[in-house]
Amino acid sequence: MEKLDQASAKFNTLKIQGVEMSALIAQTGTLWQGANGKSATWITDGSPVNAIEASADLKKLQPPKREIESFLILEDGTRVALPFCGLTYRLPDRTGVVAIFEPGQYLKPDGTDYFPYPNNAAIFNADGSLRFQLVQEDWYRIGAIHSGSMPAKFDGKMGLLIAATPQDYPELVYAVDPESPKLISTLQQIRY
């Protein structure tokens, strides 16, 4: 029986970038606090309800509101705090999340950004550790998650939108490979 349990555990363990992942991410969220000290949890990815219902408690908080924690909820119910506050989105294989950072959002002790433009996004593993910073070489900044359809060649991959210049909206679609930091151009452009 013990050998069967070990085999089952090994079968359920994924290896990404040399790191074993045995838990998958069910949801991502942020904890917010209002001016009166009350808090609300907002499940931002993986919620069983629509976005309006998911953010209802957040809207009830007394302004000004602030994010105090970002977290992952794993399939086994474990809550994992992330080392920054911000929105995260699950990779399709749910072994990690993508976070896109604005200037000043996630700072080193010396006050500089961990992930400055143009490579202002990263993948974090299900245990909250950094997998890698995402890299794109040609444009101004990574701007948003692409929720639309991807070209057939990239079916099943997550997409990101990139802004070409400071004045542009993020409209260039790039694919995320969860095993490589380099973003892949899809040669697709959308209207933002």
Q: pTM score, two decimals? A: 0.85
Largest Cα separation within the chain, whole Å, is: 62
The pLDDT score that the predictor gives to residue 21 is 52
Sign of the C-alpha dihedral computed for residues 33, 126, 110 and 104 taken in this order: negative
Using alpha carbons, select from 72, 91, 73 the residue that is nearest to residue 160.
91
The pLDDT score that the predictor gives to residue 4 is 34
Rg (C-alpha) for the chain, rounded Å, is: 18
Using alpha carbons, select from 168, 113, 125 the residue that is nearest to residue 143.
168
The pLDDT score that the predictor gives to residue 192 is 67
As a whole number of angstroms, the distance between CA 13 and CA 167 comes to 44
As a whole number of angstroms, the distance between CA 96 and CA 88 comes to 9
- Full pLDDT tens readout for the chain, 192 residues: 343 333 333 333 445 444 455 689 999 999 999 999 999 999 999 999 998 999 999 999 999 999 999 999 999 999 999 999 999 999 999 999 999 999 999 999 999 999 999 999 999 999 999 999 999 988 999 999 998 889 999 988 999 999 999 999 999 999 999 999 999 999 999 986
Token code pair at residue 111:
């006050």
Q: Answer for the pair 28, 44: CB distance below 8 angstroms, yes or no.
A: yes
